Each structure stands twice: as C-alpha cells, then as structure tokens.
C-alpha cells in the first residue's frame, strides 16, 4: 500500500472537503437546539464519511437503489385513498395497503396502511445527505409535496395505530427538512400533527391501558405512544416550534417505565422488545433537553438489562418480548425461530448506544454496536422490489434465513435508515479530536481548528486483526485520535509511525493518541481475535456460542452438534483467508456468510 496520495485521490479529497463543509452546516442545524453540555460527542455529517466497497456500502447502495426506484404513486396510494383523492398506481401489498376496517382475527394484509412511508422518506433524505444525488433530493421533494396534499384527520379514522405511524412520519419530514433541504416539510409536519392530535391519548400508555382510547369505535389493540418523544424533541430542535417539545414531554413514559428503570428496577420482562429499546432514545433526548439525570439513568440501566439478556450475537427479544432474567428463559427461547427482530432491533440498538456513547464516551456502547452489526443486520437478506423482507434472525438449532410472510413489514423501514446511519456511527467528534468507533474501510474528512484533515481507514477487520489509519492534513494539526479498544481485546497494541508502546491500548477504553498530525502520519492497531466461548445464560453453561473477536461463528448443519470445549477453542480456518472455520468435520462461519444453509447459533459442550 502506497504511503502517498495519488493526484486523483488528492483532487477527490479536496472536492469532498468542500462537500463535507456544506453537509456539516446541515448537521449543525440538526444538532444545534438540543445540544447540552452533557452531550460530549457530536455526529459528523453524513457525507463526511465515505465507505469503501464492502458489506456496509453494498447494503447502503442496495437500499438506496430500491427506494429511489419505488413507485411514488404506490407509496402515496393509501394516503390518497383515505383522503378521498384519485389514487393511481398499484397497491404495494402486505402491511402497507389500505383496509376497510381492522379485523384483529385476520391476517396482516393491510395491517397498518402507509405505516412506513415516513421511514422510506427518512432513508431517502439520508441517502441524499450521503451522496448529494439530485434525483434522490427531487424524489424527496415530490413525496413531501404530494403527501402534504393528502393530510387530513380522515386518515386516522378507523386507524388502529395512529402514534405508530405518526412517529415515523415525523422522522421522515424532519429528515427531509434538514438533510434534503425540503422547503415545505416543516409546514407539512405542522399539518400532519394537527391531523393526528385528536386521535392521541393525553399521555403515553402502557399496553394494558390501550382500551381507554378517545375513539371507542376504533379497534385499537396497542400503540407505541412512548416512542414519540425522541422525534418530537428532534422536531423542536430542527424546526423550533415549542409545541413539539411540549408533545415530547407529554408522551414520556415515566411512572410505568423510566421511573423504575432509573431506580434500577427491571420492568422489562414481557414488554415488546424493539419499541421499548426505542424508548431509551426518547429517554436520552429527554435527558439532553430537560437536564434530568433520571432519564440518563433509565436509559443506561435499561440498556444494561437488555444486554444482560442478549444472545451472543447481540440480538434480544425472542418472539419480540423480553424474558425474565436469571431463570434460564433465554435458553428456553431457542425453541422459536422468531428469535430476534433483526433490522428493527438493530436500528433501535444503534440509536440508543450512539446516544449513550455521545453522552458518556463509554467505549462499551461501541462494542455493543459492533457486535450487533456484524452478527445480525449485515447478514439480513436484502429487501426485494416487491416488499419481501427479512424480519427475524433464527437462533434455534438448525435455523435458517427465511423471508417474512408479509410484504413491507416494519423492518422494511428501519433497514434503509440503518444502512445510511453506519457513517454517523463509525466516527464521532469530540472537543479535542475524533473518536474512531467502528472499524471498517472508510475515509473521514473534517475541519479541526480551521485545518482540513482526513483519516483513511483500511483493514479486513474483523477477519484480520490489523487496522491501519492514515492521516492527511492541510498543515500540521494538533488533535487527539481516540481508538476504541474492545473490552474482550486483551493484548491490543498500537504503533504510531512504526513505533510501538507510545500509547496504552487498554481493553474497554478509547486509546488516546495526542500529537501534532501531518500528512503521512500513520497509526496501526492490532486487535487480537481470540477464540472464546459464551454461554447462553448462567443456568445453561454447557450451551455455548463460539466467537472469534466480535464475530459469532455459526455451526453449519441441520442439528446442533456437541463438542469438547478445547476442540471449539482450537477451531482452525479451512484455508488461508477463508471465512469458514472447522472443528472436526463441522464447519463454522459468520452470519453474513450464511445463505440457504441450516445453522446453529449455540452448541453443546462436554
């Protein structure tokens, strides 16, 4: 690998610096009003991070292409129909279609009409923020304008999940406003909020309270009002209207959820997993805006309780519900193929851990992101043009990757958002420099104390232990690079310009490299990738997953085999550079490498 930039690379870097500066203005608008002295780290703009070709960039490109080419008439059809307007185009099918009244005993066809429109809009706005593609921006503008023409309280008559869909609509419109610079999105959000307010309760409701709703003729089953505050706080930040902050406060789930979590009382068992993890992001926004430590404690304690009942992959919530801790329920859950709601759960985990990482600088939140990314969502099957989607990861013995039974489910909305968000999770900006959180081939470009800088990361991690970071600076620039050292990475080492031992690389911390950086400076990081075993829970120590570094290695085959511990720990690559490891006659491979094969997440040990 050459130590010097080519002329072409230098010219590209200059263009990206200019684009990054423009994008940073949009990100500043996104961050400005909600910033708190307690929020130590900030996100970079989407296009300040360029991903190199690889799994993360491929997943982004797949989703960008799919939603850029999705029929606008089909996306708008349920809204136009419910507004009594002409509604050309084909039905999208699955959850997305309109229905003539909710039948709780029926299937999920027409389950939540138009539910994910806001997420598709959000994803397109973020894709524009990444690429600057004018066709993408134009589609965002057309969708916002056309959706605005349909907005009416009529939409929510006989609609059983108003908060669920409205929350996604808010996200899409505020992202269109900030990231795609849509001129009408703020006004459309005002109208959309006016339309839904008569159909929302006076406070966030727990599920047993759902019967007490303002419209008794609607067949409500449940709703997710407690997820509303995050995007309401963000709407207040980005648009500046006080009523969004007031609505955020109105829907904070305090007595039933945040208050006991803040007291370290575990109220998770039985609750819907993804939406209640999503509520931790609302708690983080409440902490940043209201300056009340209760919400930070609730988010930290709650996420710790989730991690204490997570699988080795980082997934949680079998059959979409939390289990009771400490009694072997997690191992019992391996009878269900619906073991982890993958794109939605990963999206919720990434948001919550990114907030807490920004607030606390605790590297273990980055470890959780890494574990979730490599072992769950990067192995998700791509959404198909007809809306066929990957929903659940299957951890039961002899599991398989299968398509979800209904088209356009909730995970079809979160996957494209998450694929765009890898960039804003990879690097974070501190007062003294840059935090490198995710290790993936990429380039960050930013301005440090008025000096243009870039950091280029190259590696085959987590399949190879060596990571290289090359610095470019317009002139010598003093700043600190903070490199996440995973908690399991005993023996990690750093070289700065070929010299080892200048900086401690302690597991579970960010290693700090402070110096005056100049073009050509290089850091090399060695993260050992030991084989290790992780029991599913304390009650079942003989049921283990095999891990190499952050990767879970899944046993291929129709039945979960049994091994000696020493044999598992001695697993060897099938061949140099292979992504398959062998233990005797059994092959093991990471989740993204699995296609149609059957596999087992956990195996028995003697």
**How far lies 601's CA from each of 394, 396, 547, 587, 588, in Å?**
9, 7, 10, 12, 10
**Mean pLDDT of the 58-78 span:** 98
- Per the DSSP assignment, residues forming a β-bridge with 532 are 547
- Per the DSSP assignment, residues forming a β-bridge with 479 are 515
The domains located in the chain, with CATH, are: 7-24+431-526 (2.60.40.1180), 70-246 (no CATH), 252-425 (no CATH), 531-605 (no CATH)
Give the pLDDT confidence score for residue 454 in this predicted structure.
98
In this predicted structure, the answer to whether residue 29 has a pLDDT above a threshold of 70 is: no
Q: What are phi and psi of 59, to 5 degrees?
A: -65, -40
Give the pLDDT confidence score for residue 158 in this predicted structure.
86
In this predicted structure, the answer to whether residue 393 has a pLDDT above a threshold of 50 is: yes
Give the pLDDT confidence score for residue 128 in this predicted structure.
98
| 8 Å CB contact between 22 and 409 | no
In this predicted structure, the answer to whether residue 243 has a pLDDT above a threshold of 60 is: yes
**Mean pLDDT of the 529-556 span:** 97
- C-alpha of 256 from chain center: 26
Determine the Cα–Cα distance for residues 442 and 462; give it in Å rounded to an integer: 14
Can you point out the beta strands (E) in 486-594?
493-496, 499-500, 509-517, 522-526, 531-535, 543-548, 551-556, 562-563, 572-573, 581-583, 586-589
Tens-digit pLDDT profile for residues 537-550: 999 999 999 999 99
**How far lies 266's CA from each of 163, 253, 284, 317, in Å?**
25, 15, 18, 15
* Residues sharing a CB contact under 8 Å with residue 106, sequence separation 6 or more, in sequence order: none
Give the pLDDT confidence score for residue 26 in this predicted structure.
46
Give the pLDDT confidence score for residue 484 in this predicted structure.
98
| 8 Å CB contact between 224 and 251 | no
Determine the Cα–Cα distance for residues 460 and 482; give it in Å rounded to an integer: 20
Pairing outcome for strands 42-43 and 427-430: antiparallel
Q: Which residues of 277-315 are buried (b: 16+ CB within 10 A; e: fewer)?
A: bbbbbbbbbbbbbbebebbbbbbbbbbebbbebbbbbbb
Angle at 286 between CA 282 and CA 290, to 5 degrees: 175
* Residues sharing a CB contact under 8 Å with residue 554, sequence separation 6 or more, in sequence order: 588, 589, 590, 591, 594, 599, 600, 601
Q: Quote the pTM value.
A: 0.91
Determine the Cα–Cα distance for residues 344 and 359; give it in Å rounded to an integer: 23
* Residues sharing a CB contact under 8 Å with residue 372, sequence separation 6 or more, in sequence order: 313, 314, 315, 345, 346, 349, 350
- Locate 601 and state its tokens: 């997440």
Examine residue 462 and say whether the peptide bond preceding it is cis (omega within 30 degrees of 0).
Answer: yes
In this predicted structure, the answer to whether residue 30 has a pLDDT above a threshold of 90 is: no
Determine the Cα–Cα distance for residues 146 and 247; give it in Å rounded to an integer: 26
Determine the Cα–Cα distance for residues 8 and 203; give it in Å rounded to an integer: 57
**Mean pLDDT of the 344-363 span:** 98
Determine the Cα–Cα distance for residues 365 and 197; give it in Å rounded to an integer: 36
**Mean pLDDT of the 113-125 span:** 98
In this predicted structure, the answer to whether residue 418 has a pLDDT above a threshold of 70 is: yes
For the chain, what percent of residues have pLDDT higher than 90? 85
Closest CA to 354 of 408, 435, 459, 441: 435
Three-state DSSP at 234 gives: helix
DSSP letter, residue 585: T
Residue 434: count of CB within 10 angstroms of its CB: 22
In this predicted structure, the answer to whether residue 11 has a pLDDT above a threshold of 70 is: no
Give the pLDDT confidence score for residue 207 in this predicted structure.
60
| 8 Å CB contact between 45 and 31 | no
In this predicted structure, the answer to whether residue 571 has a pLDDT above a threshold of 60 is: yes
Please give the mean pLDDT across all residues of the chain.
Answer: 91
Determine the Cα–Cα distance for residues 374 and 592; give it in Å rounded to an integer: 7
**Mean pLDDT of the 555-575 span:** 94
Give the pLDDT confidence score for residue 560 in this predicted structure.
80
* Residues sharing a CB contact under 8 Å with residue 592, sequence separation 6 or more, in sequence order: 55, 374, 378, 379
Give the pLDDT confidence score for residue 525 in this predicted structure.
97
Determine the Cα–Cα distance for residues 547 and 486; give it in Å rounded to an integer: 14
**How far lies 277's CA from each of 72, 226, 260, 316, in Å?**
31, 11, 15, 10
Give the pLDDT confidence score for residue 213 in this predicted structure.
41
- Locate 117 and state its tokens: 């429109």
The HSE-up count of residue 100 (CA atoms within 13 Å, CB side) is 0
Tens-digit pLDDT profile for residues 495-521: 999 999 788 999 999 999 999 999 999
- Locate 124 and state its tokens: 């397109």
pLDDT higher at 20 or 247: 247
Is residue 254 very low, low, confident or very high in pLDDT (cuts 50, 70, 90)? Answer: very high
- C-alpha of 296 from chain center: 19
- Locate 451 and state its tokens: 């000096």
Tens-digit pLDDT profile for residues 290-326: 999 999 999 999 999 999 999 999 999 999 999 998 8
Size of the chain, expressed as the number of residues it contains: 606
Give the pLDDT confidence score for residue 160 in this predicted structure.
84
**Mean pLDDT of the 370-379 span:** 98
Angle at 418 between CA 117 and CA 529, to 5 degrees: 165
Q: What are phi and psi of 591, to 5 degrees?
A: -60, -45
Give the pLDDT confidence score for residue 502 in this predicted structure.
82
In this predicted structure, the answer to whether residue 18 has a pLDDT above a threshold of 70 is: no
Q: What are phi and psi of 33, to 5 degrees?
A: -75, -30
Q: What are phi and psi of 445, to 5 degrees?
A: -125, 130
In this predicted structure, the answer to whether residue 21 has a pLDDT above a threshold of 50 is: no
């Amino acid at each position: 690998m050459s130590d010097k930039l080519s002329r072409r690379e230098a010219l590209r870097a200059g263009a990206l610096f200019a684009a990054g500066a423009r994008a940073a203005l949009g990100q500043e608008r996104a961050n400005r009003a909600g910033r708190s002295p307690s929020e130590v780290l900030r996100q970079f703009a989407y296009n300040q991070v360029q991903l190199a070709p690889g799994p993360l960039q491929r997943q982004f490109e797949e989703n960008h292409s799919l939603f850029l080419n999705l029929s606008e008439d089909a996306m708008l059809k349920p809204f136009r129909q419910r507004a009594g307007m002409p509604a050309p185009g084909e039905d999208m099918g699955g959850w997305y279609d309109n229905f003539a009244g909710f039948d709780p005993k029926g299937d999920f066809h027409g389950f939540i009409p138009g539910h994910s429109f806001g997420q598709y809009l959000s994803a397109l706005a973020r894709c524009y923020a990444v690429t600057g593609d004018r066709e993408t921006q134009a589609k965002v503008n057309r969708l916002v304008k056309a959706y605005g023409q349909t907005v009416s309280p009529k939409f929510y008559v006989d609609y059983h999940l108003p908060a669920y869909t409205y929350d996604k609509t808010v996200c899409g419109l505020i992202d269109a406003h900030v990231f795609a610079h849509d001129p009408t999105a703020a006004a459309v959000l005002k109208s959309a909020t006016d339309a839904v307010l008569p159909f929302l309760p006076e406070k966030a409701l727990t599920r047993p309270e759902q019967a007490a709703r303002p419209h008794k003729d609607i067949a409500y089953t449940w709703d997710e009002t407690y997820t509303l505050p995050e995007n309401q706080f963000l709407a207040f930040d980005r648009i500046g209207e006080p009523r969004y902050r007031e609505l955020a406060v109105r829907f904070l789930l305090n007595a039933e959820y945040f208050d006991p979590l803040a007291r370290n009382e575990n109220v998770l068992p039985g609750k819907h997993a993804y939406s209640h993890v999503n509520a931790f992001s609302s708690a983080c926004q409440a902490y940043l805006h209201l300056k009340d430590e209760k919400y930070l404690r609730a988010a930290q304690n709650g996420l710790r309780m989730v991690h204490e009942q997570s699988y080795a992959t980082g997934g949680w919530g079998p059959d979409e519900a939390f289990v009771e801790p400490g009694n072997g329920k997690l191992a019992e859950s391996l009878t269900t193929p619906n073991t982890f709601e993958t794109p939605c759960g990963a999206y919720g985990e990434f948001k919550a851990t990114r907030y807490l990482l920004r607030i606390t600088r605790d590297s273990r939140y980055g470890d959780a992101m890494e574990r979730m990314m490599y072992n769950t969502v990067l192995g998700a099957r791509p959404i198909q043009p007809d809306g066929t989607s990957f929903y659940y990861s299957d951890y039961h013995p002899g599991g398989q990757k299968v398509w979800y039974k209904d088209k356009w489910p909730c995970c079809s909305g979160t996957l494209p958002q998450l694929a765009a968000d890898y960039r804003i999770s990879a690097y974070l900006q501190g007062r003294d420099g840059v935090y490198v959180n995710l290790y993936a081939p990429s380039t960050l470009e930013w301005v440090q104390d008025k000096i243009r800088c870039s950091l280029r990361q190259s590696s085959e991690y987590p399949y190879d232990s060596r990571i290289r970071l090359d610095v470019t600076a317009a002139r010598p620039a003093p700043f600190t690079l903070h490199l996440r050292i995973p908690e399991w990475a005993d023996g990690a080492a750093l070289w700065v310009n070929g010299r080892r031992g200048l900086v401690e690389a302690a597991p579970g911390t960010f290693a700090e490299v402070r110096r005056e950086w100049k073009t050509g400076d290089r850091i090399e990081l060695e993260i050992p990738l030991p084989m290790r075993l992780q029991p599913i829970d304390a009650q079942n120590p003989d049921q283990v997953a095999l891990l190499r570094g952050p990767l879970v290695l899944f046993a291929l085959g129709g039945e979960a085999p049994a091994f000696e511990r020493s044999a598992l720990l001695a697993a060897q690559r099938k061949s140099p550079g292979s992504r398959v490891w062998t233990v005797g006659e059994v092959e093991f491979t990471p989740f993204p490498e699995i296609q149609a094969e059957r596999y087992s997440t956990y195996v028995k040990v003697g």
